[in-house]
Amino acid sequence: MDNFMKRAVELAIENVRDGGQPFGAVLIKNEEVLGEGVNELHMKYDISGHAELLAIRRAQEYLQTNDLSGTTMYASGFPCPMCFAAMHFAGVERIYYCASLEEAKSVGLGKSAVIYEDLQKETEERVLPMVRMELQEEIENPMNLWREFNKKGML
């Protein structure tokens, strides 16, 4: 097993022993660890406190950038949709994982599978209702504002 994956699994094991879930993550670039994390849901009461997200946050803070191009994530388990999306947005270029989605489901950690399935459905058929509301004309459209600021090079 790769040393970075071994570290991710060790973090997951420590987290279970501390009362948390079996998830650990290590984010690297050029063989350097930029950030590590474990699921901190049990400590911080923060649903976004997933191992991969914390590794990303720590790496971005360390590097002072949102762009994590050229990085690789080692995760003890198959990433949830939230973590996968964050890695995608941040520019993580490769993800290695140990435990499969099916393994997570078999031990009672199957919410990710439900969400992945739900994302395959049409918006109106999803478990969590999503309803689009049109912006009222008297309210400035933030998308248009972004476009104008971006054209002027202000962002």
Active-site annotation, residues = 52
What is the Cα–Cα distance from 22 to 15, expressed in whole angstroms?
A: 6
**SS3 of 139, please?**
coil
The pairing of beta strand 32-38 with beta strand 94-99: unpaired
Under 8 Å CB-to-CB from 129, ≥6 apart: which residues? none
| Cα→Cα distances 52→75, 90, 125, 151, Å | 7, 11, 29, 34
Alpha-carbon dihedral sign for residues 14, 19, 23, 24: negative
